[in-house]
Amino acid sequence: MFVRVLAIGIIALFAASCDKDDEGTPNPSPIAYETVSASPYLQVDDPHTQVFRSWNRWSEFWGEHPECDNGCVVPAPYVNFDSSMVVAIFWGLEGFGCVDYTDRLDVVSRKDEDTFIALREQPMQEVCHRMTYAYLFLKIDRADGGVMFTGVVPQ
């Protein structure tokens, strides 16, 4: 009888440990985002990604990037950083000046406190052959975890 109870207990523990692995690994859930309006002439040469979680860093960034040859500066668009954060993707200077860069965004998702930004190639579109600095600012609900980029990430 003792051996039977022990065997049932071991099987129950094994089954419970298998369930724990599956419980802790749900897929990230898509989340809402908003495109932050910005100047089409903001000059950021180097392809990279950046996350802004404070007004000081956000306004400092905008002050560092002149819009015009004569040094005029675009004021930082307002964002409430108590409840939001901004994820920025910069592709650098490109010849796709008349396309919608949100087409490069596949999905924005979150799992716990971590945010995932999936990017894809710019879809084929009619282009106006104007050189411009390609970038996208996404405002999403604030989370203190990491921000990971997947897919075709500018580097």
Helix (H) or strand (E) holding 2: helix 2-23
pLDDT at site 89:
92
pLDDT at 139: 96
Residue 24: per-residue pLDDT: 53
pLDDT at 96: 63
CA torsion, ordered 124, 125, 126, 132, to nearest 10 deg: -90
CA-closest candidate to residue 114, choices 87, 146, 140: 146
Q: Residue 6: what pLDDT?
A: 36
Residue 20 has a pLDDT of 37
**pLDDT averaged over 10-residue windows placed end to end, the chain, 155 residues:** 39 39 65 83 86 96 77 84 95 73 87 92 68 86 94 83
Angle at 13 between CA 9 and CA 17, to 5 degrees: 170
* Sheet architecture: strand order including 132-141: 34-35, 132-141, 84-94, 48-52
Give the separation between CA 101 and CA 87, rounded to whole angstroms. Answer: 14
